[in-house]
């Protein structure tokens, strides 16, 4: 969430900045709500002062032995009027809070302006796409034909956009998860953390999924007991610092977490319906950093390089993209996407998004830190996939296939596969 004071003082400037990312701020509505809030606040304060004066008058009249019935009646009317004004003020404040909660983060000055994903910019590339002596197959042909990847059974169990992995492919997925966790904990300095897959609405508000993206979530329970399946481990991991004041010496905090993720994909009807590219349930290794504000953009570069290192270890060609203003996520101030080369599709596909949300999530979560002088301010939060396991599995199948349909295991994974070099 943006600073309400900043919005009040610079609403027109903020509206112009957010227009670059395709978000239109209803400035007139904001001014109307803010005027109602100010008016209600003045009316409440006036009534509270009048009530305080009347209360003192009652005490004085009683001490003098005077009749206080008329003053008491006036005081009762004042209290009733004040209660009504407080309810009206609370309603306006709730409307204003909802309005502010819908406003996305401001893009960082280094984010390129654009109107769609076509305006994203290539930062760097790594590796050279392999030249095949045969026509490479996509992951569905490779996996389903061998019985490793079963969409029919998954559909019988759960419906569309699920998969059952068997044998060597299930083992390869497990090996990928272990490689990623080992790399990030042993070489990149992250602390592994395991979190619940079901969270409350406060967590989802804190990281920005609620209220805007409720349709993308799977709800568990209803009413007061309503909870949600996580769409990314970023949600519970980042919320571990919600409502906390972190001491300076504890920063930076660096967590890595493996989890299943669950998304309804409400806005993706008909998109990427083939295979494992876009599923309701998928596996991911998530990186989260909680840092001092002055270090957050250095941390973004570092976190992105940590995600890249997984692709380098697996020797998978990829490119790094800076997302333009129209393509960055709701909470992000700046995002790098990693896109891996998929020969079966003859194109690069996203495998990780690494974002700096600055203080946007921290303000919603009330996550703060105390500096060496004792001053308390909001932390900055960052997150990124290190990596999306299913898409990494797809990339290995397609990049390491041979003309017989066998999959050659990347060298970095062979120790996790008991030395197996080829999946027959």
* Residues found in the chain: 424
Catalytic residue among 86, 315, 350, 377: 350
Residue corresponding to tokens 């969409």? 151
CA-to-CA distance for 6 and 4, rounded, in angstroms? 5
CA-to-CA distance for 210 and 101, rounded, in angstroms? 9
Q: What would you measure as the largest C-alpha separation in the chain, in angstroms?
A: 107
CA distances, 35 to each of 1, 24, 32, 43 (Å)? 21, 20, 5, 12
Buried-exposed string 41-57: b where 16+ CB fall within 10 A, e elsewhere: eebbeebeeebeebeee
Q: Confirm whether 350 is a catalytic residue.
A: yes
Catalytic residue among 37, 51, 278, 313: 278
Catalytic residue among 21, 161, 242, 263: 263
Q: Confirm whether 302 is a catalytic residue.
A: no
Q: How far is CA 185 from the centre of its chain?
A: 22
Element (H, E) at 81: helix 69-101
Tell me which residue of 283, 321, 289, 258 sits closest to 188, measured CA to CA: 289
Catalytic residue among 231, 259, 353, 385: 353
CA-to-CA distance for 28 and 95, rounded, in angstroms? 14
Q: Confirm whether 174 is a catalytic residue.
A: no
Catalytic residue among 363, 385, 391, 398: 391
3-state secondary structure of 286: strand
Tokens describing residue 153 = 């059974």
**SS3 per-residue string spanning 154-200:** HHHHHCCCCCEECHHHHHHHHHHHHHHHHHHHHCCCCEECCCCCEEC
Q: Confirm whether 166 is a catalytic residue.
A: no
170 sits in the region (left: phi over 0; alpha: psi -120 to 50; else beta) called alpha
CA-to-CA distance for 7 and 26, rounded, in angstroms? 12
Beta bridge partners of 286: 257, 385
Q: Confirm whether 353 is a catalytic residue.
A: yes
CA-to-CA distance for 343 and 394, rounded, in angstroms? 10
Tell me which residue of 245, 259, 273 sits closest to 366, measured CA to CA: 245
Which residues are identified as catalytic? 263, 278, 350, 353, 391
């Amino acid at each position: 969430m943006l600073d309400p004071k900043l919005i009040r003082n610079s609403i027109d400037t903020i509206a112009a900045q957010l227009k670059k990312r395709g978000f239109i701020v209803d400035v007139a509505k904001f001014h109307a709500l803010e005027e109602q809030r100010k008016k209600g606040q003045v009316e409440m304060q006036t009534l509270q002062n009048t009530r305080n004066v009347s209360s003192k008058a009652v005490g004085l009249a009683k001490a003098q032995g005077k009749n206080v019935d008329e003053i008491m009646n006036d005081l009762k009317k004042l209290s009733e009027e004040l209660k009504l004004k407080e309810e009206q003020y609370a309603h306006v404040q709730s409307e204003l809070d909802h309005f502010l909660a819908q406003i996305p983060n401001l893009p960082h000055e280094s984010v390129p302006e654009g109107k769609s994903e076509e305006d994203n910019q290539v930062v760097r590339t790594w590796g050279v796409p392999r030249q095949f002596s045969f026509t490479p197959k996509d992951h569905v042909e490779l996996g389903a034909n061998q019985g490793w990847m079963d969409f029919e059974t998954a559909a019988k169990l759960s419906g569309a956009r699920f998969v059952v992995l068997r044998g060597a492919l299930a083992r390869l997925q497990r090996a990928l998860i272990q490689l990623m966790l080992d790399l990030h904990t042993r070489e990149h300095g992250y602390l592994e953390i395991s979190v619940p897959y079901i969270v409350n609405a406060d967590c989802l508000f804190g990281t920005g999924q609620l209220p805007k993206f409720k349709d993308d979530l799977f709800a568990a329970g209803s009413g007061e007991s309503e909870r949600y399946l996580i769409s990314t481990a970023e949600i519970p991991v980042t919320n571990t610092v919600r409502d906390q004041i972190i001491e300076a010496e504890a920063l930076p905090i660096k967590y890595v977490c493996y989890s299943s993720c669950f998304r309804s994909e409400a806005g993706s009807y008909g998109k990427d319906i083939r295979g494992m590219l876009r599923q309701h349930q998928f596996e991911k290794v998530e990186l989260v950093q909680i840092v001092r504000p002055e270090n957050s953009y250095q941390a973004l570069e570092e976190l992105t390089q940590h995600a890249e290192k997984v692709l380098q270890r697996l020797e998978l060609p990829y490119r790094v993209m800076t997302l333009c203003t129209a393509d960055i996520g709701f909470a992000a101030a700046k995002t790098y996407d990693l896109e891996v080369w998929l020969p079966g599709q003859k194109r690069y596909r996203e495998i990780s998004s690494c974002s700096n949300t600055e203080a946007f999530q921290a303000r919603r979560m009330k996550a703060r830190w105390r500096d060496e002088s004792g001053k308390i301010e909001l932390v900055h939060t960052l997150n990124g996939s290190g990596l999306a396991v299913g898409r990494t599995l797809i990339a290995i199948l397609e990049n390491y296939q041979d003309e017989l349909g066998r999959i050659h295991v990347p060298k970095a994974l062979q120790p996790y596969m008991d030395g197996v070099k080829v999946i027959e």
